[in-house]
Amino acid sequence: MKYAVFSAAALIAVYGLSNLLIYICRRRTGRPGNRAAGLLLAFLCGTMILAAGIGVWSQQYYRAGDVEASLSDSRTVDVEKIASGWMFDGPGSDTALVFYPGGMVEETAYAPLLSRLAEEGIDCFLMKMPLHLAFLKMNAAEAIMNEYPYETWLVGGHSLGGTAAASFAASHPQETDGLVLLAAYPAKQLPDMKLLSVYGSEDGCLEKEVYEDAKQYWPADGTEKVIPGGNHAGFGCYGPQRGDGQAAITDEQQQEATVDAILELIEP
């Protein structure tokens, strides 16, 4: 979550630099005959700097590891690439989860977790986010919910994606039956709904003080699950994350524990 904030700050800095260039050129083109040409040149230069900055910044994300098997059909799960991301269609037909990936993480890194969840009867929709930042498309779940006829809808996400999913749940209480937060916390008051919050005991990226303070926004029906030995990156498959703690369990074990916790959430 911190890495995404720092990246956004860098992008803002690049934008500021381009505007500073425009200002300098404007000051130096005092004569009326040169002003229009100078401003046009400054605008073009600023645009090029901004575009180059966005291009470089957009490539600084965590790539998915070896997830090809989870992106292919299995005996029980059909995997389909859709316009908004990926669909994992398992044997279940009543419940679905719309999942927002973590900030600056390639969405397919969560394919192993969601494929495993689909095997257990919860179909999953993995969202592809612009610039790998879920807060740029926080209402992505709405189109999915309007297109597919499930009785029970869960929304959730990892890290910054979880905060974005919580924002969607807060503004769409009628459509959302439950919220799943993986190493994440809400930024606003949530309506009455089922909530599951999961994080690893060795998580070095989750801001614990902010997390605890955000519990004031939880609904009454909130459940917390701490995975012994788990860390921040273990919910996905994208390797070590900056600032994270050292996991004492494998990613597969952490994801299996997460699947079990989500299944308990939807049990009547």
The residue assigned the tokens 């300098």 is 24
Reported as a pLDDT band with limits 50, 70 and 90, residue 31 is low
pTM over 0.85: no
Per-domain residue ranges of the chain: 2-58, 68-266
User: What does the pLDDT read at residue 22?
Assistant: 56
What percentage of the chain exceeds 90 in pLDDT? Answer: 76
Q: Give the pLDDT of residue 221.
A: 86
pLDDT of residue 267: 82
| CATH assignment of 68-266, among 3.30.750.24, 2.60.120.260, 3.40.50.1820, 3.40.30.10 | 3.40.50.1820
Q: How many CB atoms lie within 10 A of CB 169?
A: 28
Question: Between 14 and 151, where is the model more confident?
Answer: 151
Q: Which of 19-28, 104-113, 203-212 has the lowest mean pLDDT?
A: 19-28
Q: Which of 11, 268, 69 is nearest to 152 (CA)?
A: 268
pLDDT score at 138: 97
3-state SS, residue 125? strand
Express each pLDDT in 145-181 by its tens digit: 999 999 999 999 999 999 999 999 999 999 999 999 9
Poorest-pLDDT segment among 57-66, 72-81, 198-207 = 57-66
Query: Which parts of the chain fold into alpha helices (H)?
Result: 2-28, 32-58, 111-119, 140-147, 160-171, 208-213, 251-266
Task: Give the β-pairing of 194-200 and 222-227.
Answer: parallel
Reported as a single tens digit per residue, the pLDDT across 89-148 is 999 999 999 999 999 999 999 999 999 999 999 999 999 999 999 999 999 999 999 999
Task: Tokens for 257, please give them.
Answer: 């524990």
| pLDDT surpassing 80 at residue 74 | yes
pLDDT of residue 3: 45
Give the mean model confidence (pLDDT) for residues 50-79.
Answer: 81
* Percent of the chain residues past pLDDT 70, beyond the cut: 78
Q: Rounded CA gap, 268 and 262, in Å?
A: 12
Q: If pLDDT is split at 50, 70 and 90, which confidence band does 2 have?
A: very low
Taking only the tens place, the pLDDT of each residue in 256-267 is 999 999 999 988
Kindly state the average pLDDT of the residues 201-224: 97
The H or E element spanning position 87 is: strand 85-89
pLDDT above 90 (res 62):
yes
- What local confidence, expressed as pLDDT, does residue 6 receive? 46
Residue 139 to residue 35: CA distance in whole angstroms = 43
Q: What is the mean pLDDT of the chain?
A: 87
Please give the C-alpha separations between residue 41 and each of 28, 45, 262, in angstroms, as whole numbers.
12, 6, 55
Output the pLDDT for position 57.
47
